[in-house]
Amino acid sequence: MRAFYKGGFQPEMNRREAALILGVRESAPEEKVKEAHRRIMIANHPDAGGSSFIAAKVNEAKDMLLGKKTGGSSIF
């Protein structure tokens, strides 16, 4: 059975935490990151009853690993 990230978010996301959230390696290729993001968002999207906080963290993790975010605090 796969182990998933148990939470306890850092005040400022880093690549390690982003990889843990998405369940991929820090060096995962773009396609793997997008696939993991999609899989997690299907289960946690706010429009489907999921948490907007979790969705925001998942999006932040994807952006971090794809190089669209270099660091900084979440709005949450």
pTM: 0.79
Q: How many CB atoms lie within 10 A of CB 61?
A: 27
State how many domains the chain has.
1
CATH classification of the domain holding 60: 1.10.287.110
Work out whether the CA dihedral 61, 64, 65, 68 comes out positive or negative. positive
For residue 68, what pLDDT is reported? 85
In sequence order, the 6+-apart residues with CB closer than 8 A to the CB of 15 are: 26, 64, 65
Q: How many CB atoms lie within 10 A of CB 69?
A: 16
Does 1 have pLDDT greater than 60?
no
Q: Which residue has the higher pLDDT, 75 or 31?
A: 31
Query: What domain range includes position 44?
Result: 15-66
pLDDT tens by residue, 28-57: 999 999 999 999 999 989 999 999 999 999
Please report whether residue 39 resides in a domain: yes
Percent of the chain residues topping a pLDDT of 90: 64
Please report whether residue 4 resides in a domain: no
Does 69 have pLDDT greater than 80?
no
